[in-house]
Amino acid sequence: MNPQSPDQMDLKFLDGAVPIISPNCADIAPPSVELKRFPDGESYCRLERIEGLTGRDVVILHRLFPDPDQNLVILLQMMYGAKENGVRDIYLIIPYLPYARADKAWLSGEVVSARLLVRLLQISGAKGIFTWDCHFVKKFGTYEYEGVPITNLCMGPELVEFLRAARPESSVVSPDAGAKYLVGENGLFMRKERGAYDGGNEAFRPVAKMTADFEVDGQHIILVDDMIAGGGTMVKATQKMMEMGARSVSCAATHGLFLHGALDKLHTSGVSRIITSDTIPNAAALISIRGHVEKILWATGHFEPDTPRVSGT
């Protein structure tokens, strides 16, 4: 069976690896990297405690959002610095993998940036990647993508459990067939159709249509998706559920980007409650991946879980 969480994984291959923790994950573990910015905006990176890294494996924990382009450069700097100091294999813990939605070309000439990103990490020495509810994987477990094993861990059960504590009878629905693995075997799913790219400088395809072939009249509904970015999918799904007679709608997602006032849009659409995990720290992040990350780092033999920490930056 493919693992949903680190509890179900054999992590013996990480025994002896050295954790390298980014400052933007200070809410999870003590940082071991110094990051600064040069006056021209370029990134400065220095690995601390590099003694004894030669011939060892490392596990790098680093968030790639917000500011995905800059944080990708910082990750490449950390990986390059590790290799320069004699590190053998590099394993990455990336809570939210950006560019994951750019996993196919819709128009001639489009760059499939999901493949580019993973190839860059592979070329830079990535032996494996741990992430959560990656958009292009669409199932939990470990799968190879562009030559790199990607372990896709799932936050769906924890998000649903949290919301069902208040309303155990709630029905669970995915607003998109691609994320139906998040709602479990008994969950329901809608079908989504996107329109053409909008004009302007933002690459954005609005949701054109949402359909559902099930009944929700009088029910409390929990919508679960891998991410809330601009909120268009969740808003359309909420409106559809309310039109079909739902008594209430709550929204849950692993990744809360909440772009362009998405949180306010969701509240205005009639959503009664919104929660996410803290793969991306935000105001709705009530479920933490910290326990998952600590179990991965614990497997190295060089990590001790500590007291609660400040929010990531």
* Residue 206, CA distances (Å) to 65, 249, 262 in order: 22, 21, 14
What confidence score (pLDDT) does residue 192 get?
A: 85
What confidence score (pLDDT) does residue 186 get?
A: 82
79-94 burial, b at 16+ Cβ within 10 Å, e below that, comes to bebbeeeebebbbbbb
Residue for token pair 């326990």 = 291
Question: Beta partners for 130?
Answer: 93, 151
Peptide bond into 66 cis (omega under 30): yes
- The pLDDT tens digits for 140-157 are 999 999 999 999 999 999
As averages over each run of 10 residues, the pLDDT of the chain (313 residues) reads 75 97 96 98 95 95 98 98 98 98 92 98 98 94 96 96 96 92 90 77 78 96 96 94 97 97 94 98 97 96 70 43
- The pLDDT tens digits for 99-119 are 999 999 988 999 999 999 999
Domains of the chain listed by start with CATH number: 6-154+289-298 (3.40.50.2020), 156-287 (3.40.50.2020)
What confidence score (pLDDT) does residue 306 get?
A: 67
- pTM, two decimals, is 0.93
